[in-house]
Chains A and B, each alone.
Chain A
Amino acid sequence: MSTQTLDRPGTGPAAPAAAARGAAVELRNVSRWYGNVVAVNDVSFTLGPGITGLLGPNGAGKSTLLHMLAGFLAPSAGEVLVDGRAAWKNPEMYRSLGLVPEREAVYPFLSGYEFALMNARLHGMPDPRQAAERAIDIVDLREAMHRRIGGYSKGMRQRAKIAGALVHDPRILLLDEPFNGMDPGQRMHMMELLRGLADQGRTILISSHILEELHHLANNVLVVVAGRLAASGHFREIRRLMTDRPHTFTLRSSDDRRLAAVLMTDPSVKGVELGAGGITLHTNERGGFAQHLPRAARDAGITLYELRPTDESLESVFSYLVKR
């Protein structure tokens, strides 16, 4: 299992200033295990200004990584540094860190404004009311700011959580699955909001188990599989890796034997197996094969009954990345 690092064009113009201050977030050979189970295995990376996506299937160790960055879990081995300071057992580091946890629960008896105010007071802000109102304005929640969070929609609740994380104007923002349960409109709004925050030079880490959520948002993507850093690089590179991998399909048609023979002549097809349940077919170019198949079937006078990808689960996509 090797970690491949692609070029990182996403550092952008804010990079020199960040270099002068040191990386906002740094993991050095970090592992974390629960009893005999290894949740995070020897992960190292650094993050600078801009949005980075933390991608991986559920249970890959994303949450464990984020919890360690947030100072809520001790690394079993290695170092987790936030703003140059150890994250574990160091409450002072929260001065430069804002957290948006995945768990949906927010004190339902508080209004959005009261929640932001509570956060500002606990951060010891000199003028907590002003800080709370500023954060409410950033997330565009002014109209609903005096309503109880218990009555908020998912999108509004998520924005209230972000307002709470922004009251002290942190340099670093960690968001755990911020798009979960949001409708497309709320998602767009959230993306705009996050892009704006990143443009101000903040270091933002967003975890997700869906690659496309990070489209137009995260330049840099870290892929975590089975506790390891499987790949890291530009969003486009990661997506190319994921789509240009070998694909396997199952096909059923009016004449499987003849169709198999026809498909063998297609250069995009790498292998064909004929079985009782139909044809199993391997290709390296999904796009080319998708165009070729209907034409070939029509020309041969064969009717297609079923075309099914057999390995589209996210886990198989990720495990492909790991094996490379």
Chain B
Amino acid sequence: MRDSVELTLARLAFRQLAGSRRSLWVLALALLPVLLSLLFSGNPGPNDDVTEDYGELYQALIVGVLLPIVSLVVGTSVFGAEVDDGTITYVLGKPVPRWRIVLTRVVVAGLATAMVVAPSAYISGVIALRSQPSAPRVALGMAGAVIAGSFLYCALFVAISLSTRRALVAGLAYVVVWESSLSNTFGGTRALSVRQYTQTFAQSWAGLEASVLNARLELGTALTMAAVVAVLATIHSIRRLQRFEIGEAV
């Protein structure tokens, strides 16, 4: 078991992620929601609905910024860092089917992202909602939603990182232009937005009223579309890696 190809690949990817300087920034970013919930739950306004307040923090900061940024950093570096320094040859120069390499790395990236974002969502939720009896359930549902979001975003960003050398820019464009700006203007883009899936999951799993989070998809639609996006992105990654060329462009 210890010698399995998947575990070896996963250990290598984890150690690379843990050793990179980006990880420190990511961890610092994850502390932000916790600090903010500590701050504003300390002195709630007279007429504030804490659930709604926390819903805004969750939606704007955790799902809107933390989740996509951490996924982007992690998802683009599970292959990107090795492609940049050439060490990818040590993984690709092995008799290992490419789909096993891709699946392992997507899972590692998703796990690593979830390990940062989910505790941040859960802890900040428990702190912000501590006056509410439903706090544990709400926080758990919201943390569960970002775990699903972590894997979805990472599948997407791994696919992007294997498709273009400017993965960071392309990923950022997807998050900022497609998910934020266009989703607000054109409703149709929501069906193809990991952010919308995550908000829909959160609303449903946390048992919140529809007004708290801006989730505009049916749970069934979100689940189906999320599965389609994850599968298509992963298939695309596998096909890209099978044809992945390493060499200097003359």
Contact = CB atoms under 8 A, between A and B. Distances in A.
Given A91-B96, A109-B19, A122 B87 contact: no
Given A72-B245, A73-B245, A105-B86, A91 B94 contact: yes
Interface string B1-30: 001110011001001100100000000000
Contact of B93 (A70, A89, A124): A70
Given A73-B245, A105-B87, A91 B98 contact: yes
Contacts of B95: 91-95, 123-124
B92 interface: yes
A161 to B, nearest CB: 9
Interface string A49-75: 000000000010001100100111110
Interface residues of A, number: 35
B91 A63 contact: no
Interface string A215-256: 000000000000000000000000000000000000000000
Nearest to A71: B93
Contacts of B243: 74, 89
A234 B67 CA distance: 61
A126 B65 CA distance: 46
Contact of A63 (B85, B90, B96, B248): B248
Given A72-B247, A105-B86, A109-B15, A123 B94 contact: yes
B242 interface: yes
Interface residues of B, number: 31
B249 A34 contact: yes
Nearest to B246: A72
Given A109-B19, A122-B8, A164-B90, A67 B246 contact: yes
A99 interface: yes
A118 interface: yes
Which interface residue of B16, B19, B92, B94 has the most chain A CB atoms within 10 A? B94
Interface of A: 34, 37, 39, 59, 63-64, 67, 70-74, 89, 91-95, 97, 99, 101, 103, 105-107, 109-110, 118-119, 121-124, 128, 164
22 contacts: A34-B250, A37-B250, A59-B250, A63-B247, A72-B92, A72-B244, A91-B92, A91-B94, A91-B95, A91-B98, A94-B93, A97-B93, A105-B86, A107-B16, A118-B12, A119-B94, A121-B4, A121-B8, A122-B9, A123-B94, A123-B95, A124-B5
Interface of B: 3-5, 8-9, 12, 15-16, 19, 85-87, 89-98, 242-250
